[in-house]
Amino acid sequence: MLTALALVALVWPQDAPRPGLATTPNGWPILPPAAPVVRPQARAPEPDPGGVPAREGAAASPLLPVFRAVGSPADAAALGGVTAVLQATVYDHRGAVLGEREIVHDADFTVPDRDRLALGADTVYGRDGGAVFAHYRGLAFPNLEDEARDELAWFGLVVRVPWVFADAARYDVAPREELLLHGRPMSRYRIALRPPPGEPVRERFELWCDPHTSEPRVLVIQPGDPAARPCRVRLLDFAAVGNVRIPRRRILEARDGTRALELVATELDAEQEFGKRHFAPPPR
């Protein structure tokens, strides 16, 4: 994944190390595992809230307390098209700004994989299911499609958390655990992307929530490659959009726990009428 962290390449010599910001070949930080957690404690199942509409397994999901806190999957789908104008800022390990960029993310919340990213005035990525395109200054760039696929998957997942995990056909959610994260009580949900029959589990996730309100606080993404370090994203400044609450600020942490990338939603608009052509390659 590259997008906003491409800014690092613009301001940092290609052959020089980036202090505190080890990255994958695509440019995203690689991070150590989250701090060890201790003493899991069993908690009795909570009663079905009744008021949470069922959608794709949501009624039976262990994430029901989270849906109470931020809205149900049905409420999220009711947003329809969502446009987020994001101010992306890249930092070094001392907290100095390395670069900034505006990203416009259009997401269709009725499906899990229909997104469009405008990176400044020149670059546009889009996906509709498995179909992906990458355009630069109005021209198709097939050599950018792998990068675009990673970017769209990352942004598309993060903007739809936690509702995307309600799809029981795609995700296996373990019961809630009460643990300590950096010495603070938290609730953790371990989630695995269901693999095709006969194949091992690929991506895994952890969703850490406030133990009292169940509002999400941290998302950990463990890539399918066992050798890859997890990506850790802090979810902050929740605001009401329609009947759901969405974090307006997300911080991707570097290896040492400092912020590497901060995404701030300066505008967040729902019920946008995009049409499927919006997520297809522009006409020539």
Tell me which fold the domain 3-44+55-279 belongs to: outer membrane lipoprotein receptor (LolB), chain A (2.50.20)
Which residues, 6 or more positions from 24, have their beta carbon under 8 angstroms from its beta carbon?
A: 1, 30, 228
pLDDT in tens, 184-202: 999 999 999 998 888 887 8
Q: Give the residues across from 82 on adjacent strands.
A: 107
Local confidence pLDDT in tens for the 284 residues of the chain: 333 344 333 333 333 344 444 444 444 444 444 443 333 343 433 433 333 333 445 667 899 999 999 999 999 999 999 999 999 999 998 899 999 999 999 999 999 999 999 998 899 999 999 999 999 988 999 999 999 999 999 999 999 999 999 999 999 999 999 998 888 999 999 999 998 888 887 899 999 999 999 999 999 999 887 778 889 999 999 999 999 999 999 999 988 888 999 999 999 999 999 987 899 887 76
Q: Give the residues across from 218 on adjacent strands.
A: 208, 234
pLDDT in tens, 57-109: 566 789 999 999 999 999 999 999 999 999 999 999 889 999 999 999 999 99
Neighbours of 185 (CB within 10 A): 13
Do the strands 259-272 and 231-241 form a parallel or antiparallel pair, or are they unpaired? unpaired
SS3 65: helix
Residue 42's φ and ψ, nearest 5 degrees, are: -70, 145
* Cα(215)–Cα(221) distance, integer angstroms: 18
Which residues, 6 or more positions from 99, have their beta carbon under 8 angstroms from its beta carbon?
A: 7, 8, 10, 11, 89, 90
